[in-house]
Amino acid sequence: DTEQIICAGCGVKVQTEDREGLGYAPPSALERDVVICQRCFRLKHYNEVQDVSLTDDDFLKILNTLGEKDALIVKIVDVFDFNGSWLQGLHRFVGKNDVLLVANKVDLLPKSFKRNKLINWLKKSAKELGLRPVDVCLMSAAKGESVIEIAATIDKLRQGKDVYIVGATNVGKSTFINKMIQAFDGDEEQLITTSHFPGTTLDMIDIPLDDGRTLYDTPGIINHHQMAHYIDKKELKLITPKKEIKPIVNQLNEGQALFFGGLARLDFKQGERSSFVSYFSNELQIHRTKVEKADQLYANHLGELLAPPGPKSKEDFPPLVKKDFRIKDKKVDLVFSGLGFVTINGTNLDIAAHVPKGVTVSIRDSII
């Protein structure tokens, strides 16, 4: 009975079912005298921080403790899926603590994007969502871009306090922390020591800072990517951008429509010929058709021409639901949560977006 086994490293209950979950260990690990979870194993042997997913309840417990601390909170979001990775309600838990907002994965945006514009947009959006960060930084943890600068910013802002890193799963928290560890390991003025990890507390990995303070890596909460519920892992990989996104430009006349694989659709219902620029994974096929033909095309070709979903996941794929938008006179992004966005530049346009039920679609001021 695995319920009874406790990780010797961090004290969590060891389980062998959910690879992404807290306390996971491969079944073979249970045969050892001293059982440690995979997360502690990797930490011990590779100095590598591995993220785990928590349930909402567990995550709330961790967030709840944040307000009682006197610390700097570093919140990481995925710039390509800002809303999906936001962590609703964090501002209610941080108490009086300062929050540094770090937007990761900027390498996915086209090289021409304007940093200042994006930073201002992030500040404005954070404020609208109830959070006033002391500063906003852009980063590409995977490419190592700005990692050292952000470490220095953290060190300055923390004013001798502890640091808590928070973020949804998949925002790049582990990548960031591992890059920081690499950058400072062996350096005389170490910000982070890797020589003797004190192991973990119940739920967090703590990394000692040079003044006796600690940087805590909190486990991420599962990102409720609705889109992920409807397609399989391989398809999800395909729609998750890995490289700089190549925008696809379409000049559309009214009555034209775009399909994003078989996952979403945009109708240009009414207005002057306008520009629609799509930012999705380069792997996702975009098909242009006529609004009047779109329903039929979808009925006949979902799972083949219009994929993902593939022939199998199409069986359980819910019908698309329509949401109408009016674009007045601003350059906006129509955001398909967890999938991508379309920048629309035009005046007095009527648009409809079709998405699987439960997937959010929304309009924002363009970040491009």
Q: What's the closest the beta carbon of residue 244 comes to ligand GDP, in angstroms?
A: 9
C-alpha distances (whole Å) from 328 to each of 258, 333, 351 are 20, 13, 11
Q: Cβ closer to ligand GDP: 241 or 262?
A: 241
Q: What's the closest the beta carbon of residue 148 comes to ligand GDP, in angstroms?
A: 14
Q: Cβ closer to ligand GDP: 180 or 209?
A: 180
Q: Cβ closer to ligand GDP: 12 or 252?
A: 12
Q: Cβ closer to ligand GDP: 108 or 332?
A: 108
- Spatial contact of 142 and 51, defined as CB atoms under 8 Å apart: no
Q: Cβ closer to ligand GDP: 102 or 361?
A: 102
Phi, psi of 103 (to 5 degrees): -100, 115
Q: What's the closest the beta carbon of residue 232 comes to ligand GDP, in angstroms?
A: 17
Residues paired with 206 in a beta bridge: 216
Residues paired with 343 in a beta bridge: 277, 333
Q: What's the closest the beta carbon of residue 160 comes to ligand GDP, in angstroms?
A: 27
Look up residue 286 and give its amino acid: I
Q: What's the closest the beta carbon of residue 102 comes to ligand GDP, in angstroms?
A: 10
C-alpha distances (whole Å) from 12 to each of 16, 38, 48, 204 are 13, 11, 18, 11
Q: What's the closest the beta carbon of residue 106 comes to ligand GDP, in angstroms?
A: 7
Q: What's the closest the beta carbon of residue 300 comes to ligand GDP, in angstroms?
A: 35
Residues paired with 214 in a beta bridge: 208
Give the H or E element holding residue 292.
helix 291-301
| Minimal CB distance residue for ligand GDP | 172
User: What is the CA angle 280-150-179, rounded to 5?
Assistant: 75
Q: Cβ closer to ligand GDP: 108 or 302?
A: 108
Q: Cβ closer to ligand GDP: 219 or 261?
A: 219
C-alpha distances (whole Å) from 113 to each of 109, 118, 123 are 7, 8, 17
Q: How far apart are CA 342 and CA 251, in angstroms?
A: 12
Q: What's the closest the beta carbon of residue 302 comes to ligand GDP, in angstroms?
A: 28
Q: What's the closest the beta carbon of residue 114 comes to ligand GDP, in angstroms?
A: 19
Phi, psi of 298 (to 5 degrees): -65, -45
Q: Cβ closer to ligand GDP: 168 or 252?
A: 168
**Distance in Å from the first CA to the final CA of the chain:** 53
Q: How far apart are CA 366 and CA 363, in angstroms?
A: 9
- Spatial contact of 339 and 365, defined as CB atoms under 8 Å apart: no
Longest pairwise C-alpha distance within the chain = 72
Please list, in sequence order, all residues whose beta carbon lies within 8 angstroms of the beta carbon of residue 308, skipping any fewer than 6 positions away.
231, 235, 238, 239, 261, 262, 263
Q: Cβ closer to ligand GDP: 109 or 248?
A: 109
Q: Which residues bind ligand GDP (CB under 6 A)?
A: 51, 104-105, 107-108, 140-142, 167, 169-175, 220
Number of C-beta neighbours around residue 66 at 10 A: 19
